[in-house]
Amino acid sequence: MGRPAERPVPTSADVARLAGVSRATVSYVLNNTSAVRISEPTRRKVREAAEELAYIPHAAARSLRAGHTRIVLLPTAHVPIGPLHSRFLNELQWALRRLDYTVVQYGSLGLDGDEAARAWAELRPVAVVSLGEIALTPHGVEILKRSGAKAVITLGPRRVEGAHALVMDQREIGNCAVDHLLERGRRRIGVVMPEEPGLELFSEPRLAGARAAAASSTGARVEPVPLSYTEESAGALAARWGGLDLDAVYAYNDEYAMLLMRALQDAGVDIPGDVAVLGADNLLLGKLLRPRLSTVRIDLVTGQRLAALVDRVVRDPGGEPERHDLMGALAVRRESS
């Protein structure tokens, strides 16, 4: 076990040499090429030689020859988005692997849309599934398609020209939240805007949805309320709460909601008497608070379904860019609203 890294990595030529056959034969045997019949003794010789050398094919060489890869590129978030999101991502990866794709996560720090697209294109992915954290431009989509991507799928708040769009419309959530609060008789509604960078892509559309919902109701008012995910920030907000004159707040998600609710309670605000509080994500932890936190349950598409869709588009790229709605939002009333 001295320094095994010294001798060079065995190639199919090495296997051929050891087995006393040609490289072609090696390829046939190891890939079980059905169009060609190889005698059993030869097969065994090849297999044994491969085994002995611990031969492992070289994916890059293979796909260079093949002219295409099975890479699905997943640009990664710059910021952790939340438990829901990361569970979804895991599921998606898992399902794609099942379909024999190689999932490459690509963090695109500090690259703007087109630079990022170019970097991604170097890997010649057969598909790109953008979760929407990086702004993919129509031009970026064009770059990717030109480089051989069969499917470019955006899965986020924005719709991008040219891409197969699986729109996950965050406005839905804000809409649903405010609808619920209106139904509960509230009219002066705060909407928490997280100050953590990177979350605007989600919070802005949610706010827009909230506004849209309020617009349909006379006398309703929506007020954005900035908040960082710290106790200090929540405390400061609670301290000036009286001046805000709000009777309800949709707090972006359950985590921010829990934070804010505690701060309000500590400041003597009665919930839901003085203020209704609503989160989103339907976390288990929200049920542990008193009052139990009302929330918006978000039904994401399952990773499996999305993976199947990716596969379909890859196999038949001709289809028109489709637009699917992949998200449902449903208010779950508990005790805080």
Partner DNA sequence: TTGAAAGCGCTACCAA
Partner DNA sequence: TTGGTAGCGCTTTCAA
Cα→Cα distances 31→47, 53, 129, 138, Å: 11, 17, 30, 39
- Should residue 5 be labelled a site residue for a copy of itself when binding is judged by CB under 8 A? yes
Which of DNA, a copy of itself, none lies near 215, with the C-beta cut-off 5 to 8 A by kind? none
CA 290 to chain centre: 32
- Should residue 145 be labelled a site residue for a copy of itself when binding is judged by CB under 8 A? yes
Give the one residue of 1, 54, 66, 109 binding DNA; rule: CB under 7 A: 66
Per-position DSSP letters for 28-74, written without gaps between them: HHHHT-TTS---HHHHHHHHHHHHHHT----HHHHHHHHT---EEEE
* Strand-pair category, 248-250 with 188-194: parallel
Q: Least separation, in Å, of the C-beta of 11 and a copy of itself? A: 11
Q: Least separation, in Å, of the C-beta of 117 and DNA? A: 16
Q: Which is nearer to DNA, 12 or 253 (CB)?
A: 12
Give the one residue of 48, 51, 52, 62 binding DNA; rule: CB under 7 A: 62
Q: Classify 330 as helix, strand or coil.
A: strand
Give the one residue of 93, 137, 217, 302 binding a copy of itself; rule: CB under 8 A: 93
- Should residue 22 be labelled a site residue for a copy of itself when binding is judged by CB under 8 A? no
**DSSP letter, residue 78:** S
Q: Could you tell me if 193 and 207 are in contact, meaning their C-beta atoms sit under 8 angstroms apart?
A: yes
- Should residue 69 be labelled a site residue for DNA when binding is judged by CB under 7 A? no
- Should residue 102 be labelled a site residue for DNA when binding is judged by CB under 7 A? no
- Should residue 288 be labelled a site residue for DNA when binding is judged by CB under 7 A? no
Amino acid of residue 285: L
Per-position DSSP letters for 280-311, written without gaps between them: SS--GGGGGSSSPPBEEEEEEPPHHHHHHHHH
Which of DNA, a copy of itself, none lies near 22, with the C-beta cut-off 5 to 8 A by kind? DNA
Nearest to 118 by CA among 95, 92, 147, 93: 147
Total interface residues for DNA by CB under 7 A: 34
User: Which part of the chain contacts DNA (CB under 7 A), choosing from 9-17, 80-88, 182-190, 296-304?
Assistant: 9-17
First-to-last C-alpha distance (Å) of the chain: 66
Give the one residue of 3, 7, 37, 146 binding DNA; rule: CB under 7 A: 37
Ordered alpha helix ranges (H), 147-228: 171-183, 200-215
Which of a copy of itself, DNA, none lies near 24, with the C-beta cut-off 5 to 8 A by kind? DNA
- Should residue 130 be labelled a site residue for DNA when binding is judged by CB under 7 A? no
Strand partners, 189: 222, 248
Q: How far is the C-alpha of 127 from the C-alpha of 208, rounded, in Å?
A: 31
Binding positions for a copy of itself, rule: CB under 8 A: 1, 3-5, 9-10, 54, 56-61, 63-64, 69, 74, 76-80, 83, 86-87, 90, 93-94, 96-98, 102-109, 118, 121-124, 142-143, 145-148, 150, 162, 229-231, 255, 258-259, 262, 284-285, 287-289, 317-318
Binding positions for DNA, rule: CB under 7 A: 8-9, 11-13, 20-28, 30-31, 33, 35-39, 41-42, 55-58, 61-62, 64-67
